[in-house]
């Protein structure tokens, strides 16, 4: 297998694993809102998951503690991310990569979602928390703090995506970019066709992910100690098939699927 085939396999493996993890992270976020409402004796009428657009938790009653309920999506996801982070730092099993990427997604998705909402005002959880009196600098600072563990863990897992210490910056950028950017390109295409009002947010996320790819590629070059060298594995066809099946399942099964009625 030549280098181009090797790197293409790495990108496809990452695409399937990342798509699965990102959608699962969305589901966990929405369950966080639902659990907080149930815990305060409220009720939920429906949870709708759309992998390429917005997902919602529909409240059957007004939250008794609106700050708690609004923050619970990111809070629950981040707590789970911390739990998975503990195990991800110790494992080098390719079959666990989609699970470890849930930890990455929990930090990056919730931190990025809050940051973009604060900057653009897209009427998400961060906007509601600001309306409820939470300080904008505090909330933005928390969003940055959520991003940092996700960045560090993602760089640490580079060898499991088939990247080697001798791979240069451009190789790392293209392998990671072709692994994670296509998912966000799909969200832009979906918004363009089905929800033009959502296009600005999706484009912002798309370019933010390109910047993220540049950043993690640079960090992995500048701080090689962050990369776990004994995580080096060869991605075989069965690993690729496994990750792609998970990715396809995540992108198709929850499409406008009400997971709670």
Residue 220: HSE in the Cβ half-sphere, 13 Å Cα cutoff: 29
Residues in CB range of 237: below 8 A, 6 or more apart: none
| Average pLDDT, integer, range 4-19 | 90
Give me the pLDDT at residue 255, please.
Answer: 57
239 compared with 3, residue with greater pLDDT: 239
Please check whether residue 213 is in contact with residue 178, taking contact to mean a CB–CB distance below 8 angstroms.
Answer: no
pLDDT tens-digit map of 130-174: 999 999 999 999 999 999 989 998 998 888 888 888 889 999 999
Give me the pLDDT at residue 42, please.
Answer: 84
Give me the pLDDT at residue 207, please.
Answer: 93
254 compared with 63, residue with greater pLDDT: 63
| Dist. CA 82–CA 98, nearest whole Å | 15
* Residue 258 predicted with pLDDT over 60: no
pLDDT-based confidence at 88, cuts 50/70/90? low
Token pair belonging to 19: 């798509």
Segment among 37-41, 108-112, 250-254 with least mean pLDDT: 250-254
- pLDDT above 90 coverage of the chain, percent: 43
pLDDT tens-digit map of 112-122: 889 988 988 77
* Residue 91 predicted with pLDDT over 80: no
pLDDT tens-digit map of 170-211: 999 999 999 999 999 999 999 999 889 889 889 988 999 999
pTM of the predicted model as reported, rounded to 2 decimal places: 0.90
User: Can you say whether residue 150 is alpha, beta or left, with left for phi > 0 and alpha for psi between -120 and 50 degrees?
Assistant: alpha
Please check whether residue 232 is in contact with residue 10, taking contact to mean a CB–CB distance below 8 angstroms.
Answer: no
Please check whether residue 260 is in contact with residue 47, taking contact to mean a CB–CB distance below 8 angstroms.
Answer: yes
Please check whether residue 232 is in contact with residue 2, taking contact to mean a CB–CB distance below 8 angstroms.
Answer: no
Q: What is the mean pLDDT of the chain?
A: 87
| Dist. CA 26–CA 58, nearest whole Å | 15
β partners of residue 81: none
DSSP per-residue string spanning the chain? --HHHHHHHHHHHHHHHHHHHHHHHHHHHHHHHHHHHHHTT--EEEEEE-TTS--EEEESS--SSHHHHHHHHHHHHHHHHHHHHHHHTT---GGGHHHHHHHHHHHHHHHHHHHHHHHH--SSHHHHHHHTT--HHHHHHHHHHHHHHHHHHHHHTGGGGT--TT--HHHHHHHHHHHHHHHHHHHHHHHHHH-GGGHHHHHHHHHHHHHHHHHHHHHHHH-GGGS-GGG--PPPHHHHHHHHHHHHHHHHTTTTEEEE-
Give me the pLDDT at residue 261, please.
Answer: 46
- Of 63, 68, 86, the closest CA to residue 32 belongs to 68
| Dist. CA 106–CA 168, nearest whole Å | 28
Sequence spans of domains, the chain: 3-260
CB atoms within 10 A of CB 170: 10
pLDDT-based confidence at 221, cuts 50/70/90? very high
Give me the pLDDT at residue 72, please.
Answer: 92
Give me the pLDDT at residue 233, please.
Answer: 65
* Residue 123 predicted with pLDDT over 60: yes
pLDDT tens-digit map of 223-253: 888 877 666 667 888 888 999 999 998 888 7
């Amino acid at each position: 297998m030549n280098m181009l085939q090797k790197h293409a396999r790495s990108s496809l493996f990452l695409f399937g694993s990342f798509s699965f993890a990102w959608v699962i992270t969305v589901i966990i976020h929405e369950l966080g809102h639902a659990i907080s409402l149930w815990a305060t004796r409220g009720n939920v009428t429906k949870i709708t998951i759309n992998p390429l657009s917005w997902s919602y938790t529909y409240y059957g009653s007004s939250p008794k503690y609106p700050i708690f309920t609004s923050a619970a999506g990111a809070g629950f996801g981040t707590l789970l991310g911390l739990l998975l982070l503990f195990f991800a730092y110790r494992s080098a099993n390719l079959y666990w990569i989609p699970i470890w990427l849930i930890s990455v997604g929990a930090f990056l998705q919730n931190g990025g979602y809050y940051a973009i909402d604060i900057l653009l005002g897209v009427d998400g959880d961060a906007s509601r928390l600001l309306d409820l009196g939470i300080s904008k600098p505090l909330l933005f600072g928390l969003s940055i703090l959520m991003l940092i563990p996700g960045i560090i863990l993602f760089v640490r897992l580079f060898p499991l995506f088939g990247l080697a210490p001798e791979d240069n910056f451009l190789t790392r950028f293209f392998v990671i970019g072709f692994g994670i950017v296509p998912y966000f390109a799909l969200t832009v295409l979906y918004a363009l066709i089905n929800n033009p009002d959502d296009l600005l947010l999706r484009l912002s996320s798309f370019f933010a992910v390109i910047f993220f790819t540049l950043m993690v590629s640079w960090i992995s070059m500048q701080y090689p100690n962050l990369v776990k060298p004994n995580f080096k594995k060869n991605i075989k066809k069965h690993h690729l098939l496994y990750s792609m099946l998970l990715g396809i399942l995540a992108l198709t099964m929850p499409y406008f699927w009400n997971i709670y009625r």
